[in-house]
Amino acid sequence: MKKTSHLRLPTFEIGQKVWLNNKNLPLYRKYRKLMPKREGPFEIIDKKSPVVFKLKLPPQWKIHDTFHASLLVPHTENFLYGQHHERPPPDLDEGEETYEVEAIVNHKLIRNRFHYFVKWEGYPTSENTWEPPENLEKATDILRRYKRLHRLP
């Protein structure tokens, strides 16, 4: 008998949306305790076995996209939680698409240059991306405040 035979795992189907438990995810945030416990919702794109599923993750997530059913929770929309709002369209600035920065969440040094983990206005935290400073020209005041707060050059 298998160790996990006593678990009652929900059944999932391809195309269903699920929340992913972020307990084992490498998230770049300072205080894990204050973060949401789940990320998503993500769509199931393949069923590898009765308890292993492949999810459609954002391209900036550089992790394996297959997870055990114990890490997944079915997504249900209700009035208070889980509603999806339309994402704002990008601004057109000189024919180039630009997005508004809501906050800078973290930073790291890559090849002697700082890169910043950016939370975009109107997008969920799963869409945060690492950006070099030249991509943040429209958010100079947010960048200046972040540098002053973290005592960066």
Q: Percent of the chain beyond pLDDT 70? A: 82
Look at 125 and 51; give whichever has higher pLDDT: 51
- Per CATH, is 91-150 categorized as 1.20.120.530? no
The position carrying tokens 């050059």 is: 153
pLDDT digits (tens, 9 = 90+) for 28-56: 666 777 777 888 889 999 999 988 999 99
Decide if pLDDT at 1 tops 60.
Answer: no
pLDDT digits (tens, 9 = 90+) for 65-90: 999 998 999 988 765 555 555 666 66
- b/e map of 92-105 (b: 16 or more CB within 10 Å)? eeeeeeebebeebb
Listed by start position, the domains of the chain span 17-74, 91-150
pTM of the predicted model, to two decimals? Answer: 0.56
Beta bridge partners of 107: 116
> 109 with 117: CB under 8 angstroms?
no
Phi/psi for 135 (5° steps) reads: -85, -5
pLDDT value of position 153 = 86
pLDDT value of position 11 = 85
Please state, in angstroms and rounded to a whole number, the distance separating the CA atoms of residues 130 and 143: 13
Number of C-beta neighbours around residue 106 at 10 A:
17
Number of H helices, E strands in the chain: 1, 10
Please state, in angstroms and rounded to a whole number, the distance separating the CA atoms of residues 68 and 25: 13
Structure tokens at 126: 């799963």
Candidates 35, 33, 52, 36; CA nearest to 44 is 52
pLDDT value of position 144 = 94
pLDDT value of position 58 = 85
Average pLDDT over residues 119-136: 88
CA distance from start to end of the chain: 59
